[in-house]
Amino acid sequence: RCGGEEDGGVDDFFFSSRRRHTRYISVTGVQTCALPIFCKFFDACGGSLRVRADLYFRDPWARRPWGLKAQNPWGQRLLGRFERTCVRHADRVILNTESMAGEFRSFYTHQDPSTFVTIPNACDPRLSEQVQQLVNGTAGAKLLDAETPVRLCHPGSLYRKRDPRPLLKAISNLRREGIRIAFEQIGPCDPGFSLESFVAEQGLAGVVSIDPPVPHAECLSRMARADLFVLIQPGTAIQVPGKLFEMMSFGKPIIALTDEGATADLIRDHEIGVVARPDDAEQITTAIRSAITRFPELSDSQKWDDVREVFDIRRTVESLAGELNHVIGWSSPIDLPTAQQPVSLCN
C-alpha cells in the first residue's frame, strides 16, 4: 500500500523504488485499483522485479460508454494503451460486474478468459450501523402519508449524460396529479443544465432544492431524512455506481434512472427499488408512483438485511485477498535474499 499526499504520496514511493525499495524488500505480489500507479511502478523498477499483479478495475478506462472527457484530450486518447499495458502484465484482472468481465474477455481475446474475474463492490456494515441510528432518529422514516410530501434525494454530481431534467418533469407531472413530492439534489450540477430556470419553468420553486457539496456526515444525515433515493446512471450497461452501495446502508427504496444492464438487474433481482429509462419523463413518472405505492414492500427490513449480507464488504475483502494469495501461489521463486509479505498498492 502506498499512502497519499500527506505522507509523501505515490510519486515519492515510485521515484525511490529503484534507489531504495528494491534493495531491501522482496515484492512478491501487487494488488492495486490505481492502474496508472501500476504502470509507473513497473517503469520505476526498470523491469528489475518479477512481480505478480492483481488489478482491480472499478470502471473501464478504454471503450467508455460516455466517450472521452473534454479535458486533456491527448491523455484521454492514451487510456486504451494504458489499459492494454496493464492487462498484458496482469495475472488477474478483477472487474466489479460480470457484464464488465464479459466485455473484457470479448475485447482481450488473446488473454486466458480465466484472467478476468468478478468481485462486486460492497457496503460497509460499520456505515450501516451509523446510518441506522440516523434513520431511526428521523420522523416518518418508515411511513408515507398524503399530508407529508414524499422526499426524494439524489446525493451526487450531475454532469454530462447524468441529466436530471426528465426527473424534474416527472415530479411536475405527479404534483399536477395531486401527489406531494419534494426533491433534494446534493452535489455539483453542470451549469449547462440551467436547473434554476428549468425548475422555475416547471413550477417547482420551493419544491426542488439544489445544494452544493456538503461534508459526508451532513450528507448522510440529509439522506436519512429522505423517503426515496434517486440514482441517475444512464448509458453504462456494464457498470454499477458506487453510490448505490452506500444507499444500501439506509434500507430505503431506490428509483434507478438507468438503461438496461448491470444496475437495473441488481435493483430488480434484489427487489430494492424501481427502474425507469433516464430520458423518459413519462416512464419516470410511473416509476415514482410505483415506488410510493410499493413503499412498505420495498422498505422491508429483512429484505435489506439480506441485500447487505450479500454485498458485505468483508466478503469482498476476503475475495480480493483470496485472488492475491492465489496469484502469489502461482509465482516463480523470486531471486532476492529473503521473502517478505506481499506489498499491496491501492489508492
CA-based radius of gyration for the chain: 23
> What is the band of 65 on the pLDDT scale with cuts at 50, 70, 90?
confident
Q: What is the pLDDT of residue 138?
A: 65
pLDDT digits (tens, 9 = 90+) for 184-196: 999 999 999 999 9
Provide the percentage of residues in the chain whose pLDDT is more than 70: 75
User: C-alpha grid cell for residue 12?
Assistant: 515519492
pLDDT at 283 over 60: yes
54: closest CA among 322, 284, 271? 322
**pTM of the prediction?**
0.82
> What is the band of 37 on the pLDDT scale with cuts at 50, 70, 90?
low
pLDDT at 63 over 90: no
Helix, strand, coil share of the chain (percent; to 5) = 45, 15, 40
pLDDT top residue among 165 and 345: 165
Confirm if 264 and 256 have CB atoms less than 8 A apart.
yes
pLDDT digits (tens, 9 = 90+) for 26-35: 556 666 665 5
User: C-alpha grid cell for residue 190?
Assistant: 453542470
Q: What is the pLDDT of residue 334?
A: 38
CA atoms within 13 A on the CB side of 3: 4
250: closest CA among 140, 128, 153? 128
d(CA 150, CA 142): 11
Q: What is the pLDDT of residue 330?
A: 46
> What is the band of 50 on the pLDDT scale with cuts at 50, 70, 90?
low
Q: Considering the chain, what is the average pLDDT of its residues?
A: 82
